[in-house]
């Protein structure tokens, strides 16, 4: 069954035919390419902001240096950003080559690999941001019950730069979630197209 060039498979997955398929696919690929470039850039920015952050304060004639390795959640976030940047760079190359060659559809194994990779990176980046944000809250407001001090009162510059890095990483996480939806659309559209062909026969 089709309406305005759009077929509907038994699984209610839209299936685009003819020239409409190519137009939709190009727009999806372009959106995917832009998102992956944004993720790659912001993941690098977040990793650099946090990884290079440090501040030295003198407390009672003792010099204390705050650095990101003092908080395991920040180390995890830097690693997650590095992985997200590397993964996105590989996918940017793939998307660019695919658009240059003019290929329209994925094959199923590749679509599954991309879908699984995007899901993994989305969960990884989101978990890293959540852990870092929780640690940042404790550093900002402290925890009187556990006698944890407000670290940001002493290391303001350090905390501000960490906050910028977490904000950048949050955008990366949101973008990865959107990309997971795009890769899911690209994957299940293949199955919808196959069902449509079978029904047509």
Tens-digit pLDDT profile for residues 104-150: 555 778 888 888 999 999 999 999 999 999 888 887 776 666 556 67
pLDDT per position as a tens digit, 25-65: 778 788 889 999 999 999 999 999 999 988 777 767 777 77
**Predicted local confidence at residue 108, as pLDDT:** 79
Q: Residue 103's pLDDT band (boundaries 50, 70, 90)?
A: low
Distance, in Å, from the CA atom of 31 to the CA atom of 17, rounded to the nearest integer, reads: 20
User: Could you read off the pLDDT of 150-177 as tens digits, one per residue?
Assistant: 777 788 888 899 999 999 999 999 999 9
Tell me the pLDDT band of 178, cut-offs 50, 70 and 90.
Answer: very high
pLDDT band at 193 (very low <50, low <70, confident <90, very high): low
What pLDDT score does 22 carry?
A: 66
Sequence-distant (≥ 6) Cβ neighbours of residue 16 within 8 angstroms: 5, 6, 7, 23, 24, 25, 189
pTM above 0.85, yes or no: no
Report pLDDT for 182: 87
- Averaged pLDDT, 66-85: 91
pLDDT of residue 102: 67
pLDDT of 3 higher than 60: no
Q: What is the mean pLDDT of the chain?
A: 79
Q: Is the pLDDT of residue 192 over 60?
A: yes
């Amino acid at each position: 069954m089709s309406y305005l060039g759009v077929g509907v498979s038994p699984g209610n997955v839209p299936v685009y035919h003819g020239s409409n398929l190519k137009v939709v696919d190009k727009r999806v690929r372009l959106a995917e390419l832009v998102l992956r470039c944004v993720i790659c850039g912001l993941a690098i920015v977040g990793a650099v902001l946090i990884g290079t952050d440090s501040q030295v304060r003198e407390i009672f004639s003792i010099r204390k240096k705050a650095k990101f390795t003092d908080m395991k959640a920040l180390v995890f976030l830097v690693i997650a950003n590095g992985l997200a940047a590397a993964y996105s760079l590989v996918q940017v190359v793939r998307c660019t080559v695919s658009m240059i060659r003019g290929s329209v559809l994925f094959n199923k194994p590749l679509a599954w690999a991309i879908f699984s990779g995007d899901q993994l990176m989305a969960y990884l980046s989101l978990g890293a941001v959540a852990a870092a944000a929780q640690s940042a809250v404790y550093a900002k407001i402290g925890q009187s019950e556990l006698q944890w001090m407000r670290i940001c009162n002493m290391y303001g510059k350090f905390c501000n730069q960490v906050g910028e890095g977490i904000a950048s990483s949050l955008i990366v996480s949101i973008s990865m979630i959107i990309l997971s939806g795009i890769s899911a659309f690209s994957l299940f559209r293949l199955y919808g197209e196959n069902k449509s062909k079978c029904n047509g026969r």
